[in-house]
Amino acid sequence: MSEPNQFRQYQIVQDADGHNVELVRTADQVAVLAFDTMRLDFVHCHVLLQPLANQPAFNTACETLQKNGHPLIARLVDFGVDEGNPFYITGNVDGETLRSYLARQQEIPVWLAVMIACRSLEAALAVCERGDY
């Protein structure tokens, strides 16, 4: 088994064959699962594959998201540029997606449908208030 990869205080999670556990994002972004050795929590390390067109705007947006966290949105833990690659670190949100959960269900109780709809609207509002669509 290969040695664990380390990026700052983040230990990159690897599978049994020593490959990083990557999370599918977009063609412009790679994300890996990591363990924050200072906070003792799992995080997602997002690395942008293209240079930033506007570094100050990136920094401002990240600082705003860091200050204005919301419990229904993954929190922004860290951000910056490392060896020319912009990155940001978000907290790990454990569990399956709502889409996959609902796809497995034949039917759900009305109270749960209402709760899911309300939480979804709250999360959408929180995202809109932060200007991140």
pLDDT single digits (tens) 71-124 = 777 788 999 988 888 999 998 877 777 888 899 999 999 999 999 999 989 988
pLDDT tens-digit map of 24-33: 777 788 889 9
Q: Is the distance from CB of 47 to CB of 54 less than 8 angstroms?
A: no
pLDDT tens-digit map of 49-61: 888 889 999 998 8
Tell me how many helices (H) and strands (E) the chain has. Answer: 3, 7
H or E segment at 78? Answer: strand 76-82
- Amino acid (one-letter) located at 120: S
Binned at pLDDT 50, 70 and 90, residue 65 comes out as: confident
Q: Which pLDDT belongs to residue 117?
A: 93
Q: What is the pTM of this model?
A: 0.72
